[in-house]
Structure 1
Amino acid sequence: MPPSVRMLLVLSVTVAASADVALSGPASHAVAHADAAVPVAVSQARAKPHSTRFEPTVANPTTATAAQLATGTRSAVLSSRLVPRSTAAQTGKPISRSVVMARAQSWIAEGVPYNRNAYNSDSNGTYRQDCSGFVSMAWSLPSSQANNYGETTGTLTNFATELNSLDDLQPGDMLDNISTHVVLFKGWADANRTTAMILEEAHSGTTAREDDHFYTRNYLSTHRYRPYRYNRIQDAAPPDVTDPDDDPGPLARGRGRGAK
């Protein structure tokens, strides 16, 4: 064997041995320990989102009105294949606040990209990858081709009751401008409740995310965001009643759309 070949083999063995030592040292232990410490649910959430493009039935499935959804902009052949939505399906189902927040956080962990013309399929179901699809997913609302895989900023209010004030918001409630955008409320970023912490699918080029500085009370008021609570949410906080003569009814007394 020529000397040059022998030297190459020796170097290869040395490099390989060094790599084995490195992987069996403290660094590898740290990596193994980190992997072992990650809960199964989190590990699963880190999987890449499964996005599938589809042809919406309306020009903008994010903010379409009920009337636009009813008429649609689809072919007669496609329309004939859709199953009408029943009244029961439009009521949603009971869900706890903790599950709502966990579902929303899972999309953030997955890094689901914003796309109003695509839906994501995972353990939460199949939902459109835009702001209203995100809230529909978090609330576990009915999703199918018939509603473009999620409700819209205009139809989400059919499943919710408007709150009297921003101060009534609890985790899992939504802040909705029915003409433009909707986000999920997580909490307040400060003791004075001047800035809301929210979870959202924001716009093209971003993934599901959390924000704790953009949605100030002034911004929410100026841009006409209104607070809503899902009608079938569970384990809501009890009313803050200090006077036994006060009305003991729930804090969230919906005014309802169109109410005076």
Structure 2
Amino acid sequence: MITRRSAALAALAVAAATLTAPSAHAADASGTSEPTAATSITRNEVLARTKFWFDRQVPYSQARTYPDPQGKRYRTDSSGYVSMALNLPAPGRNTQGLADPAITKKITKAELQIGDLLLNRSKHVVIFAGWANAAKTRYWTYEQTPPRVKNRTVPYPYFAGNGKFEPYRYRYIK
């Protein structure tokens, strides 16, 4: 027979174990919390996720959030959009956090594939959606920029006067 005292002790033991158990997440420099195990994603999945917001013409905001296909809410700025597309934890990393070597790696222009990123660490990030010309001087992009998500061609690496954009690849893309 279980007494009140043994039931209370059991509940206290469960609570103590929960409070002292190691976290399944680790805080990073961007102030977000990342899972300790990376989530892999295919290039087709990235593209499908980008189109989810594009089809809904999600407005740009650094203060608001919008759900992904599973209902997780991400910031509706450029880095939140890219975080959503890569299925990173909500509400998403900032541009500096997306450049974290644990998450992405720098690549060359010649290595760019659909689902890769062009990133200005202090300003903006876009999703590479393919070359727009044979000379590889323009490319298709999905990006979250005022007033809303856009799919357009831009000059490589990005419009003049916007700082240094470099190609990156999510480490867990297939």
Asked if TM exceeds 0.5, the reply is yes
- Tell me the equivalent position of 1:177: 120
| Cα deviation, residue 177, structure 1 | 0.2
SS in 2 for 1:105: helix
Q: What does residue range 221-232 of structure 1 map to in structure 2 within 5 Å?
A: 223-232=163-172
* Structure 1 residue 134 corresponds to structure 2 residue 74: no
- Tell me the equivalent position of 1:151: 93
Q: CA contact under 8 A between 1:92 and 1:140: conserved in structure 2?
A: no
Could you tell me how far apart the structure 2 residues matched to 1:208 and 1:98 are? 18
| Cα deviation, residue 90, structure 1 | 5.4
Q: CA contact under 8 A between 1:175 and 1:184: conserved in structure 2?
A: yes
- Tell me the equivalent position of 2:151: 210
Q: CA contact under 8 A between 1:170 and 1:185: conserved in structure 2?
A: yes
Equivalent residue pairs, number: 144
- Equivalent residue for 1:109, pick from 55, 78, 84: 55
TM-score under structure 1 length normalisation: 0.51
- Tell me the equivalent position of 1:196: 139
Could you tell me how far apart the structure 2 residues matched to 1:150 and 1:169 are? 23
Give CA-to-partner distance per residue, 1:84-109, whole Å, 9 cap, x none.
Answer: 836xx155301000000010011100
Q: What does residue range 48-87 of structure 1 map to in structure 2 within 5 Å?
A: 66=29, 69-70=30-31, 85=33
- Tell me the equivalent position of 2:173: 233
Structure-2 change in CA distance of 1:166 and 1:221 (3 Å): farther
Q: CA contact under 8 A between 2:61 and 2:75: conserved in structure 1?
A: yes
SS in 2 for 1:113: coil
| Cα deviation, residue 117, structure 1 | 0.3
More displaced, 221-230 or 183-192? 221-230
SS in 1 for 2:88: coil
Could you tell me how far apart the structure 1 residues matched to 2:115 and 2:104 are? 12
| Cα deviation, residue 157, structure 1 | 1.6
Over the matched positions of the two proteins, sequence identity in percent amounts to 33
| Cα deviation, residue 153, structure 1 | 0.5
Structure-2 change in CA distance of 1:90 and 1:112 (3 Å): farther
* Structure 1 residue 93 corresponds to structure 2 residue 33: no
Kindly report the root-mean-square deviation, in angstroms, between the aligned alpha carbons of the 2 structures.
2.3
Q: CA contact under 8 A between 2:68 and 2:74: conserved in structure 1?
A: no
Structure-2 change in CA distance of 1:106 and 1:220 (3 Å): farther
Could you tell me how far apart the structure 1 residues matched to 2:92 and 2:163 are? 23
Structure-2 change in CA distance of 1:107 and 1:174 (3 Å): same
Q: If each structure's helix is expressed as a fraction of its own residues, which one has the higher value? A: 1
Structure-2 change in CA distance of 1:106 and 1:177 (3 Å): same
Could you tell me how far apart the structure 2 residues matched to 1:218 and 1:200 are? 12
- Tell me the equivalent position of 1:44: none
Give CA-to-partner distance per residue, 1:145-168, whole Å, 9 cap, x none.
Answer: xxxx110100012211110x2121
Q: If each structure's strand is expressed as a fraction of its own residues, which one has the higher value? A: 2
Could you tell me how far apart the structure 2 residues matched to 1:186 and 1:231 are? 17
Could you tell me how far apart the structure 2 residues matched to 1:218 and 1:99 are? 24
Mark the structure with the bigger radius of gyration: 1
Could you tell me how far apart the structure 1 residues matched to 2:125 and 2:97 are? 11
- Counterpart residue type for residue 154 of structure 1: Q
| Cα deviation, residue 128, structure 1 | 0.6
